[in-house]
Structure 1
Amino acid sequence: MRPVPSMPEPYDLLIVGGGVNGTAIARAAAVAGQRILLVEQGDLAQGTSSTSTKLMHGGLRYLEYYEYKLVHEALAERAIMLRTAPHIVWPLEFRLPHMPSMRPWPIVRMGLWLYDLFALGGSLPRSRGIRLDDPALVQNGGRGFSYWDGWVDDARLVVLNAVDAAESGAKISTRTRLESAQRQADQWTVTLRDAAGAHQVSARTIVNAAGPWAEQVLHGQLGQTDGSHIRLVRGSHIVVKRCLSGNHAWLLQQPDGRIVFAIPYLDDFTLIGTTEVTVKDPTDTQIAPTEVAYLLDAANLYLRTPLRDEAIVGSYGGIRPLIDDGTEAAKAVSRDYRLELDRNGAALLSVFGGKITTARHLAQAALDRLGIGGGDTRERPLPGGEFTDFGAFLADVRARWPFLEEPVARRMAHAYGSRIGAVLGDARTPDNLGADFGAGLRAQEVDYLIDYEWARSAHDIIWRRTKLGYYLNPAQIERLDHYIHEAVA
């Protein structure tokens, strides 16, 4: 049996979970000067944080459940992220067709007015009434509303949090599993397992940010008996060939009181979601046929030409770890978060719930609970976000690397922002960037993702770092996987 190596000096914080909450806490704590180790059993953002609806939003529908504090906080965070991460977060207009059989016009108008009020001081336009102008809609020419929220590349938000944490001194260990932890008065002794085997580390505080696995980790590897319960709710999405024109999204009210989003996705698709299905297992992410039918029906209620199964090019489901507050309907369960601090010995902070939009605020609140000063990231750009005007930045990218095809230049400008030069270097032709894996993905970009963003498989790159999985065929993906395997061997 391989011996377990001796432990070095204790970390200040050992963070379990490489999703948006874990990486945001790692970033803030590292900026505050703490000695940080973050461990993730898979890839960064491999779970819930890459399977969201890709929205940086206040949550208009949360107003119906009187979640005013959550909406106000989320809208304030939306403004911060639009300013500090303009490459991966940008404004997105939403249009809401009015159906008199659902929410009455005055109620919707009042909700949007309140949403505008909570967002005062932000940079986005206010809501307004409009005439619908998309011939694909049954209600074309009818009345509706327009309001603004934000789009986010969810997985890149997680990765860039981790990059900033690492550059501030944190250690990020992916594909590393927490096996057990023994608690003493002033520190934890933790056994971890990675590809090289088991090893031990010590930490003064553990932060349990395992998302859908948080309760399992708390009662299993951490050996605790108390703590909140979480409710696992699967949110599923389908990706279809582009079925609505324009660069705006649609908010589609449903007869059951829910709303479904139809969002322009990449260049060629529409993202439709989401469902809300309570599950027992954090790995139960496979979209069910009933969910597919629900989402198609939700869109077809508004579309002049109905979508069929053959229009679907992809689907995904993510498990939301919501605080179990006893609410019967999944749609009514709070999306707020709860931080539970246990100081019965070495400190343990467990994170329950939360949403993409409020992760930065949650991280600051976590540091406050732990009594850690500093770490304020409100004015700190995420890596690559050191500019203000994306249009001007994209024009500079086109001028410096004119050989890039338009979709490739735009994708890379969004993904890497002002760090795109570290990826493309002094390349003057596409061939300077090495082997072509398809859809503009070249070896030099792959090397960068391996060296600086913890990518270790084709799936890491095509579904989380770039979203190019919708454009590559199986042979190209196999070739990419072989290249990565050789590079990291």
Structure 2
Amino acid sequence: MADECVDLLIIGGGINGVGIARDAAGRGLKVALVEQADLAAATSSASTKLIHGGLRYLEFFEFRLVREALIERECLLAIAPHLIRPMQFILPHVPGLRPRWQIRLGLFLYDHLGGRKRLPASRAVRIGADRYAPLRAGLEHGFAYADCRVDDSRLVVLNALDAAERGAAIHTRTRFMSATVQTGDAGRRCWQVLCETAHGAQLQLRARAIVNAAGPWVDRVEQCLPIARDQVTARLVKGSHILLPRLFAGDHAFMLQNPDGRIVFAIPYEHEFTLVGTTDVPFQGDPADVRIGTEEIEYLCTTVNRYFRHAAAPKDVRWSYAGVRPLSDDEAANVSKVTRDYRLELTEADSHPPVLLVYGGKITTYRRLAEAALARLIPRLDPAARAGHARHNAPAAVSAGRRDGGPIDASTCRSGDIGPAWTATAALPGGDLPDGDFAAFLSAFQQRWPFLPTGVAHRLAHAYGTRAEIFLGRARSPAELGESFGAGLTRAEVDYLIAHEWARTTDDVLWRRSKLGLYLSPRQVERLAEVMAAAHGPAAASHAATESSAKP
């Protein structure tokens, strides 16, 4: 790619990076993305797995952030109905903490700020009802409200997949090393970029603008760029979660208040578990080596014991994970009060082309962040320099077989055109369900492949939506899907993940493309590694040490 010049080089394969790549590629820009590890290998796979407005941010008066997040909640439900699911949350009232009137007022605002359409309104509930029996005695009143759950790492992968199908070049396991300014014809400046693959090979390309969406590494990447700007650094905050044996029956979750003002979620997870989190801890060190601390485990267990009848102890933790949030530093004294809003800083000078730095953000608002990023960047891109790219990229979505055909019509595209914002209504891969009705889709899914166990059918339908057709195809029996590795994972699915979703290691398959690592035995994982190594070389057999150390 040494002679190729892209409009945007995006550094970082988390949710913000792939969201910008998807939006830009769909508008007709020529895009390349480099990620030093796997997609969603860091912060974007370490969230609480929620698409939500952020109820607690209302008490910090972040009304704009909450409103935007609530609007996005409705939008994402529409474009990814297979991946994003409504969920009811129960918020018990605890005397001595937030008063009932304050909670009721907050929920009233929460119901009305974002133009709620698909989810039910909040209401008061009696905790003593049978369905809330696992809560301890003394909790009598509470409130119910609605938000959504999501598989965060799959949301990242689907955005990257859509970007690639619209013409973006996605380079995983490729580390950004340096960038220098190059002056070409007519005095036009561009970035000459050097990257390095996991095998030590060099990747060189040129870019008219760079987007630094490196998450916790945003400041480190910025130091490798010859730019001058006002000093704005990311404030790194660690958030950790634990997985316990299931604490309660039902599909609802709990939002639990703590005396320190923080809240913790308890969420049904992967059928057999309850996900509990998150913490807020200042972080210093290498974001690639982040893990939960003993104090955090004790904090989360104490929260559980404050509300539930059955005690939880550190020895009960089946799995844990931690991530580092690169928040925009607003100098708040309490890390829990640091804004979750995003900040975009565009740097441009006579000495260098544009660089956009991305700070903060929530997984819920990634799509709006991408729109805001392109609103800043597009006016800075030389129209003459990018002539022809829209025509080059437009057919990508059509040739990939997407039902919506992509946002740009190749037959009417003029040289140099850039399309308008489009991602609010275009389904993510697999999300083009008839009428957006997942229940009807699941019913048809099970009728088409009746040999799939119920749990496996549910997992595949939620994870892949209509794209499950690619690897299930005309199969009429389990044998036709190839070798079974356990927990419903077959050779057909693994081959699909390698060919289409950048899966290279067993961790990619078992902990990011799915959570089947919770169920496979060590021998089954070894067998999967053998098959992946044969299919894609020895690198596919490796395990990420930072992940494997915390697994059950």
TM above 0.5: yes
- The partner residue of 1:379 within 418, 421, 425 is 425
Gaps (5+ residues) in structure 1?
1-5
Listed as ranges, the matches of 1:26-37 within 5 Å are 26-37=21-32
Please, what TM-score do these two structures have when normalized by structure 1? 0.97
Give CA-to-partner distance per residue, 1:340-387, whole Å, 9 cap, x none. 111112111111111100000000111100126524211000000001
Shift of 1:278: 0.5
Counterpart position of 2:122: 127
Moved more, 7-16 or 329-338: 7-16
Shift of 1:304: 0.9
For 2:319, what is the secondary structure of its paired residue?
Answer: strand
Distance in 2 between the 1:315 and 1:336 partners? 26
Listed as ranges, the matches of 1:214-363 within 5 Å are 214-221=218-225, 224=228, 226-281=230-285, 282-344=287-349, 345-363=352-370
Counterpart position of 2:16: 21
Conserved? CA contact 2:94–2:139, under 8 Å: no
Moved more, 176-185 or 20-29: 176-185
Moved more, 280-289 or 134-143: 134-143
Moved more, 188-197 or 401-410: 188-197
- The partner residue of 2:452 within 388, 401, 404 is 404
Relative to structure 1, the CA distance from residue 301 to residue 386 in structure 2 (aligned partners, 3 Å threshold; closer, same or farther) is same
Amino acid at match of 2:326: P
Distance in 2 between the 1:283 and 1:157 partners? 21
Conserved? CA contact 2:177–2:224, under 8 Å: no
Shift of 1:444: 0.5
Distance in 2 between the 1:127 and 1:8 partners? 57
Distance in 1 between the 2:23 and 2:151 partners? 20
Counterpart position of 1:162: 160
Moved more, 195-204 or 382-391: 195-204
Listed as ranges, the matches of 1:458-473 within 5 Å are 458-473=506-521
Shift of 1:308: 2.1
Conserved? CA contact 1:206–1:349, under 8 Å: yes
For 1:283, what is the secondary structure of its paired residue?
Answer: helix
Counterpart position of 2:373: 366
Q: What CA RMSD, in Å, does the superposition of the two structures yield over aligned residues? A: 1.3
Give CA-to-partner distance per residue, 1:68-120, whole Å, 9 cap, x none. 00000000000000000011111111001111111011011011011111132
Amino acid at match of 2:208: R
Find runs of 4+ consecutive structure 1 residues off by over 3 angstroms.
221-227
Distance in 2 between the 1:373 and 1:214 partners? 28
Counterpart position of 1:90: 85
Counterpart position of 2:145: 147
Counterpart position of 1:55: 50
Distance in 1 between the 2:341 and 2:419 partners? 24
Distance in 2 between the 1:29 and 1:225 partners? 25
Distance in 2 between the 1:252 and 1:121 partners? 23
Shift of 1:135: 1.8
- The partner residue of 2:204 within 180, 191, 200 is 200
Shift of 1:221: 5.0
Give CA-to-partner distance per residue, 1:3-29, whole Å, 9 cap, x none. xxx722311100000000000000000
Give CA-to-partner distance per residue, 1:231-263, whole Å, 9 cap, x none. 110000000110112100100000111100000
May I ask how many residue pairs the two structures share in their alignment?
484
Conserved? CA contact 2:9–2:210, under 8 Å: yes
Give CA-to-partner distance per residue, 1:384-424, whole Å, 9 cap, x none. 00011111111111101011011100000000001111121
Distance in 2 between the 1:477 and 1:367 partners? 42
Conserved? CA contact 2:93–2:139, under 8 Å: no
Shift of 1:143: 1.0
Shift of 1:310: 3.1
- The partner residue of 1:173 within 171, 174, 177 is 171
Conserved? CA contact 1:156–1:464, under 8 Å: yes
Shift of 1:220: 2.8
Shift of 1:479: 1.2
Counterpart position of 1:187: 190
Conserved? CA contact 1:228–1:352, under 8 Å: no
For 2:307, what is the secondary structure of its paired residue?
Answer: coil
Amino acid at match of 2:445: V
Distance in 2 between the 1:19 and 1:85 partners? 18
Amino acid at match of 1:335: R
Counterpart position of 2:386: none
Give CA-to-partner distance per residue, 1:413-462, whole Å, 9 cap, x none. 00000111112111111111111111000000000000000000000010
Moved more, 400-409 or 473-482: 473-482
Conserved? CA contact 2:176–2:195, under 8 Å: yes
Distance in 1 between the 2:374 and 2:263 partners? 35
Amino acid at match of 1:59: G
Amino acid at match of 2:426: R
- The partner residue of 1:8 within 3, 13, 18 is 3
Conserved? CA contact 2:340–2:360, under 8 Å: yes
Distance in 2 between the 1:275 and 1:483 partners? 38
